[in-house]
Structure 1
Amino acid sequence: MPEPRGEYRDEAGDRNNEDGNRERTHRSRREDRDDRSDSRAIGPRDGNRQRSQRADSDRGDRRNRKDDRSPREDFRDRRDDRPAKRSRDESSTPRRESRSRNEDRYEKHEYRETREPVAKKDRTPVRGQPTRRRDKEEQRQPEAEALTQVRTDLQGTTDWGGLKLEKTIVNSILNMGYEKPSDIQEASIPWQLEGRDVVAQAVTGSGKTASFGIPMCNLVDPDSRDVQGLVLVPTRELAQQVQRELSLIGRDRGISVVAVYGGEPIAKQIRGLEQGASIVVGTPGRLKDLMNRRILDLGYVRNAVLDEADEMLDIGFADDMEFILKRTPSTRQTALFSATIPGFIRGLIRRYLDDPRWVQLVNDSKGLETVDEVDQIFYDVASQDKADGIMEILDDIEEGSQILIFRKMQVGVDRLSKGLAGEGFAIKGIHGGMSQSERNRVMNSFRDGSLRMLVATNLAARGLDIPTISHVINYDMPENIEEYVHRIGRTARMGKRGTAVSFIGEWDFELHEQIVAKIGEDKMIRRKFAFY
């Protein structure tokens, strides 16, 4: 019996010791927690309050400061104060002296290049001659210059009757309000009427759609039910616009034009194709879908056009374009129209165009040229002040003007359109997250003038031709110069005057400097907001 009592007593004692240790541990944890809560309640909150007061004071100083310092200067001062990066010579890490695999490859490449190539009668590219492609491009450039000279010689001397068009086509063109051909139309239409492949590059708003639409409608056979004309475009809105313009051009000849694109029920588009279409305008994705369903047959296509080809390749339509073009006759006539023709477009031209005639009506090889009728105004503004800046600009614009505002993100479009609507402006937003029926409704309202202001992403920047737009506002700057050219090209259409306003934020200074270097300082107008 004593042993069990002692054993019980020892167990109880151990239990009491454990309870005491546990209580002391909980007590110390509570004290630490109380200390931390006290420190949070006293120190950092006072620090946050002081920082908030300093921020309010700085904001007031910035609003009321009398010096002429702009956000650009403040940003550059902060950038200059950053510590300089350590150079490789100052680094403690020794520089590797071993040879890299790329260096060995480079020497081998140089060796192959210096070897004398074997002469061949068929003049096919010789292995070891990487300069062969460069020579071809150099041979084509004088041809583009020659065509530009031809266009200059013909300027002002050609009317629609001199282009040898069908009378019904000429009547339709005159009814549309085109009194005489534009420069790009005068230079490119004769080549297309002769059946030659054409690469046409001109500034935005110069009438590229009619440049390929007129010869296409002139050459197709209206009595045939086969698809004879094909136009590939990057966006749904551009497909709708091209379809409308080509329908007006070919109306008197009885030419039917059908547009096919994603976002709408495919059954309606299938019915349009089954009724007979002389010309099909569509996005590559929907065209490929219809071809896989064996509904669309492109075996009788005589004319194919790649409109805004750089945009189609940029958004990932390269495989779809190749799929479509391979299923058209090799004897087809192909034309490529765009405001910009970067280097990667030349590979597409070599694959799908046969000895094309180049029509280049811009000075810069990349097409980074804007029309002189656009007044380009730039404001340096901090991100948090853009809302005040847009209000100041809209108050100064004449009432009744039609305005297009660009933002980068869909959520930004929704926020800005709702915010300005709350200020009493009649405004809507449009972006890729909306249904096709909503987008059509908004665009139709903006096109017929019942809607005066529109906020959009880059969706609306490509190819849309609304001649009544007087102002384009870049609330958010685009990613590159090419997109900037396309955006401001929505105004000053076909010789009219327009205004482009751009907000240069903290992270847009580099892009702005590139724009100035490419387009020219003489075309830029710098202004400051009244609250700076």
Structure 2
Amino acid sequence: MSFSPCRIEVAKLARVGGRQRYHHTVDLTLLVRATRRMGAEDEKLVFETTEGIEPILSFDQMGLKDDLLRGIYNYGFEKPSAIQQRAVMPIINGRDVIAQAQSGTGKTSMIALTVCQVVDTASREVQALILSPTRELASQTEKVIRTIGDFMNIQAHACIGGKSVGEDIRKLENSLLQVGFVSSQVCLISATLPHEILEMTSKFMTDPIRILVKRDELTLEGIKQFFVAVEREEWKFDTLCDLYDTLTITQAVIFCNTKRKVDWLTEKMRSNNFTVSSMHGDMPQKERDAIMAEFRDGATRVLITTDVQQ
């Protein structure tokens, strides 16, 4: 089976809260990372899976293209993660799939390897078009596709705001804009799948394979989650400073719900001698790329941001 061109839509589900509360989560995971290490907790997951889906424990048993296998092993993978063991084959076989797994368990790389398997590598046009709610997620997905497909000459392109529209048109001319898409296949892959989202999938998915993780197993071992309820808005900054002084962290991401709050908090923390960087959707793409690169390289320890698609 081959798709030319192939469209990827990577969904990032946002949580909508009720009462306004101050949330503090210590998460040492970078916003953008290559998922190379699968923790031991990945093996302990209990999946609520569509009947008849058996895990495949080795990449060699999946019938993947030889050049794709080279790319997978060169990337650093030794064996499929739990979600990859269950979801790769249904996706390759053309089924609609709803798959849920924890952060850091190989969802992005699973998208990449399945795309590399199904596209027509003989085509010199764009084979994979990446559209995502956030620029950073689109860039990450494109990078992983290109890296895993390095031996296959994969033609992938991410449409990202803040960059030349002319380049997007040039990449896609005589391809997507004229040919359109072939038969549709929809795969919904996320760490969070609320009930209302699962209900909505019936409108655009056909008899999907379901691979869901029990709710109490969605948190990775080693990551502590808690929140502090703060009664008044003006008390939040002092609470954050107390947490900052109390907790020992290597790196952290502080999320704000508005771009204005990001700018305000950044200035406030810097005026109190905290070393922080910040990023949101109003910043030029080059500046955002530079800030992310510094954070990934460890040059900055604290990043203040929105969910960056705003």
TM-score range, shorter chain: 0.7 to 0.9
Distance 1:337 1:265, change over 3 A: same
> For each residue in 1:11-47, what CA deviation from the matched residue of structure 2 results, as whole angstroms up to 9, or x when unmatched?
xxxxxxxxxxxxxxxxxxxxxxxxxxxxxxxxxxxxx
Distance 1:349 1:390, change over 3 A: closer
What is residue 391 of structure 1 aligned with on the other side?
241
For the pair 1:296 / 2:176, whether they are aligned, the reply is: yes
Shift of 1:422: 2.8
Distance 1:333 1:206, change over 3 A: same
For the pair 1:445 / 2:297, whether they are aligned, the reply is: no
Q: Alignment partner for residue 185 of structure 2, among 330, 333, 343? A: 333
Q: Is the 8 A contact 1:227 1:298 kept in 2?
A: no
CA distance in 1, matches of 2:178, 2:189: 21
The structure having more radius of gyration, on CA atoms, is: 1
For the pair 1:219 / 2:110, whether they are aligned, the reply is: no
Shift of 1:254: 0.9
Q: Alignment partner for residue 269 of structure 2, among 413, 420, 426? A: 420
Shift of 1:348: 5.5
> For each residue in 1:121-179, what CA deviation from the matched residue of structure 2 results, as whole angstroms up to 9, or x when unmatched?
xxxxxxxxxxxxxxxxxxxxxxx94437845xx3xx71221222223222222232222
Shift of 1:457: 1.3
Deviating runs (4+, > 6 A) in structure 1?
none
TM-score for the superposition, normalised by structure 2: 0.73
CA distance in 2, matches of 1:247, 1:391: 41
Distance 1:297 1:205, change over 3 A: same
Secondary structure (helix, strand or coil) at the match of 2:226 reads strand
For the pair 1:202 / 2:202, whether they are aligned, the reply is: no
- For this pair of structures, how many residues does the alignment match? 264
> For each residue in 1:25-80, what CA deviation from the matched residue of structure 2 results, as whole angstroms up to 9, or x when unmatched?
xxxxxxxxxxxxxxxxxxxxxxxxxxxxxxxxxxxxxxxxxxxxxxx9xxxxxxxx
Distance 1:195 1:344, change over 3 A: same
What is residue 147 of structure 1 aligned with on the other side?
50
Q: Alignment partner for residue 436 of structure 1, among 285, 299, 310? A: 285
Secondary structure (helix, strand or coil) at the match of 2:257 reads coil
CA distance in 2, matches of 1:379, 1:354: 42
CA distance in 1, matches of 2:112, 2:64: 12
Secondary structure (helix, strand or coil) at the match of 1:181 reads coil
Secondary structure (helix, strand or coil) at the match of 1:359 reads strand
For the pair 1:363 / 2:214, whether they are aligned, the reply is: yes
Secondary structure (helix, strand or coil) at the match of 1:389 reads helix
Secondary structure (helix, strand or coil) at the match of 2:228 reads strand
CA distance in 2, matches of 1:352, 1:386: 42
What residue identity is the alignment partner of 2:258?
A: M
> For each residue in 1:428-475, what CA deviation from the matched residue of structure 2 results, as whole angstroms up to 9, or x when unmatched?
1111222223222222222232222100112279xxxxxxxxxxxxxx
Shift of 1:202: 2.4
**Residues 467-506 of structure 1: pairs in structure 2 closer than 5 A:** none
Secondary structure (helix, strand or coil) at the match of 1:333 reads coil
Distance 1:460 1:231, change over 3 A: closer
Q: Alignment partner for residue 159 of structure 2, among 260, 269, 274? A: 260
CA distance in 1, matches of 2:170, 2:130: 19
What residue identity is the alignment partner of 1:204?
A: S
CA distance in 2, matches of 1:196, 1:265: 35
What residue identity is the alignment partner of 1:357?
A: I
CA distance in 1, matches of 2:161, 2:130: 15
What is the RMSD of the two structures over their aligned residues, measured on CA atoms? Answer: 3.0
Shift of 1:223: 2.0
Secondary structure (helix, strand or coil) at the match of 1:458 reads coil
CA distance in 1, matches of 2:83, 2:118: 19
Distance 1:148 1:419, change over 3 A: farther
**Residues 144-293 of structure 1: pairs in structure 2 closer than 5 A:** 145-147=48-50, 150=53, 154=55, 158-273=57-172
What residue identity is the alignment partner of 1:387?
A: F
Q: Is the 8 A contact 1:298 1:328 kept in 2?
A: no
Shift of 1:248: 0.8
How high is the sequence identity, in percent, across the aligned residues? Answer: 33
Shift of 1:411: 1.7
**Residues 338-353 of structure 1: pairs in structure 2 closer than 5 A:** 338-342=190-194, 345-346=197-198, 349-353=201-205
CA distance in 1, matches of 2:53, 2:175: 43
Q: Is the 8 A contact 1:199 1:359 kept in 2?
A: yes
What is residue 258 of structure 2 aligned with on the other side?
409
TM-score for the superposition, normalised by structure 1: 0.45
> For each residue in 1:226-267, what CA deviation from the matched residue of structure 2 results, as whole angstroms up to 9, or x when unmatched?
444444422222111111111111111111211112222212
Runs of 5+ unmatched residues, structure 2: 1-20, 22-46
